[in-house]
Amino acid sequence: MLYLLRYGELALKSEPVRRRWEGSLVRQLKALPGVEGVRRERGRIWVEGEVPEEKLKKVFGVVSFSPCERCDLSELEEKAVEFCRREGFGEGQTFAVRVRRTGDHPFTSPQKAAELGSLLQRTFRGLKVDLERPQRELFVEIRGEECFLFSRVVRGAGGIPLGVEGRVVSLFSGGIDSPVAAWMMMKRGCEVVPLYFDSSPFTRPEARERAERVVRILSEYHPGLELEVREHGKFLQRMREFLWRKGEERYTCLLCKRRMYRVGEELARERGALALVTGESLGQVASQTLENLRVLDEACSLPVLRPLVGLDKVEIGELARRIGTWEEASREVGGCGASPGRPATRGDPERIRELEKELGSE
Ligand code: ATP
Ligand code: MG
């Protein structure tokens, strides 16, 4: 099988950046199971081998691709007819021929398209031309003396090649939101280190298992993706008792998240990551008010990226379905037994710093 791949934003880059990005994309394609060869030429990549389309759909940087056939320009007419016969072109269908061409040729693209179109009409009786909304399409890319024939354009993952933007630590609960947030960063070229906080006994073991399963799903987009797990339950236990004594249980969730941010920052430094990523979205739940996000941001010095900030629950759900994490991530694993009845929606930064100081010196 031969695939023709298109990639988008690379074209906007300076020459050295483009070379680096293309190189990275080619390396990732070569590492796919079944790939026998990868060839790159300005603006296009060809992948040869028994590669399932599902795998190609998960490579960031690929805007779209087409399973195609190669032939020489001298045999184009004959091969186009054979190709369309195999594709089932025929009686009563509408069709269009689309030609693109690079190199020096005595014909223009529209001329070649018209020529091939009338040949197909003579060969397959009852075929009607419809350039607007055809049922069938034959695409022909002519590059010098080489031609590529295809009939389908499959949407790819888009974005930019994985890893070219550097590394981030993702606070990864395995719920619906944070895996989508992690995926969006991958799509923008970031290598991701997913970090899960295990709050048992306040959460069930299923919660951690869910995070592990969701990571496995995302690893299809990000080879080698592995969940980092940190123990968080003992801290929660101690912090809860402390806040309870102070009559400030409403700050439980903020103090909990602030510790996650700090531990996330430590891990980021160890792993050379430049930012944290969370699945927070503005106003989604009590803890995600603008005031509270500010309180959280103050807990660490790295930028905190929140790719879902402007999305609502429905949009995030649609993305999760497209990515393939929805089913696993929406599985009920029980809530957090540490959350207070009435969590603070407008955390007072001053008070929180005081409480943390006291808690830390206990
Ligand atoms: P999600 O759908 O990602 O679980 P949520 O809507 O349940 O998010 P919160 O529980 O307030 O919202 O969590 C906000 C963010 O904090 C999450 O998106 C995630 O980035 C991070 N987070 C929450 N719990 C954990 C955890 N156990 N381990 C790691 N990160 C977590
Ligand atoms: Mg959650």
Residue 279 pLDDT > 90, yes or no? yes
In this structure, which ligand is nearest to the CA of 343? 1
- Mean pLDDT (the chain) is 94
Structure confidence at residue 15 as a pLDDT band (50, 70, 90): confident
- What is residue 362's predicted lDDT score, i.e. its pLDDT? 63
Q: Locate tokens 């993702």: which residue?
A: 170
Residue 286 pLDDT > 80, yes or no? no
> Hey, what's the torsion of the CAs at 332, 333, 335, 336, to 10 degrees?
-160
Q: Mean pLDDT over residues 234-238, rounded?
A: 97
Measured from the Cα of 308, ligand 1's closest atom is: 18
CA of 359 to the centre of ligand 1 (A): 23
Rounded CA-CA distance 290/336 in Å is 22
252 lines ligand 1 (CB under 6 A): no
- 168-207 pLDDT, tens digit each: 999 999 999 999 999 999 999 999 999 999 999 999 999 9
CA–CA distance from 189 to each of 21, 120, 183, 323 (Å)? Answer: 10, 43, 10, 16
- 118-131 pLDDT, tens digit each: 999 999 988 999 99
Q: Mean pLDDT over residues 282-288, rounded?
A: 78
- What is residue 277's predicted lDDT score, i.e. its pLDDT? 98
Q: Mean pLDDT over residues 327-336, rounded?
A: 96
Residue 16 pLDDT > 90, yes or no? no
Give the whole-number percent of the chain exceeding pLDDT 70: 99
Rounded CA-CA distance 81/94 in Å is 16
CA of 177 to the centre of ligand 1 (A): 7
Q: Mean pLDDT over residues 195-221, rounded?
A: 98
- 41-72 pLDDT, tens digit each: 877 899 999 999 999 999 999 999 999 999 99
The dihedral through the CA atoms of 18, 21, 24, 28 has a sign that is: negative
CA–CA distance from 299 to each of 121, 224, 248, 258, 323 (Å)? Answer: 69, 29, 19, 5, 31
Per the rule left: phi > 0, alpha: psi between -120 and 50, beta: everything else, 283 is: left
- Least confident residue range of 195-204, 210-219, 322-331, 344-353: 344-353
CA 242 to centroid of chain Cα atoms? 41
- 293-324 pLDDT, tens digit each: 999 999 999 999 999 999 999 999 999 999 99
Structure confidence at residue 14 as a pLDDT band (50, 70, 90): confident
- What is residue 284's predicted lDDT score, i.e. its pLDDT? 72
Residue 243 pLDDT > 90, yes or no? yes
- The reported pTM is 0.93
Q: Mean pLDDT over residues 208-230, rounded?
A: 98
CA of 199 to the centre of ligand 2 (A): 12
- What is residue 17's predicted lDDT score, i.e. its pLDDT? 87
- What is residue 42's predicted lDDT score, i.e. its pLDDT? 72
Q: Which CATH class is domain 167-361?
A: alpha beta
Structure confidence at residue 108 as a pLDDT band (50, 70, 90): very high
Structure confidence at residue 244 as a pLDDT band (50, 70, 90): very high
Is 2-155 CATH 3.30.1490.100? no
- CATH 3.30.2130.30 domain locations along the chain: 2-155
- What is residue 285's predicted lDDT score, i.e. its pLDDT? 75
Tell me the best of 170, 178, 331 to mutate to test the pocket of ligand 1, counting ligand atoms within 8 Å of each CB and taking the most: 178
Q: Whose CA is nearest to atom 6 of ligand 1?
A: 177
- CATH 3.40.50.620 domain locations along the chain: 167-361
What HEC string does the chain produce? CEEEEECCHHHHCCHHHHHHHHHHHHHHHHCCCCEEEEEEECCEEEEEECCCHHHHCCCCCCCEEEEEEEEEHHHHHHHHHHHHHHCCCCCCCEEEEEEEEECCCCCCHHHHHHHHHHHHHHHCCCCEECCCCCCEEEEEEEECCEEEEECCCEECCCCECCCCCEEEEEECCCCCHHHHHHHHHHHECEEEEEEEEECCCCCCHHHHHHHHHHHHHHCCCCCCCCCEEEECHHHHHHHHHHHHHHCCHHHHHHHHHHHHHHHHHHHHHHHCCCEEECCCCCCCCHHHCHHHHHHHHCCCCCCEECCCCCCCHHHHHHHHHHHCCHHHHCCCCCCCCCCCCCCCCCCCHHHHHHHHHHHHHC
279 lines ligand 1 (CB under 6 A): yes
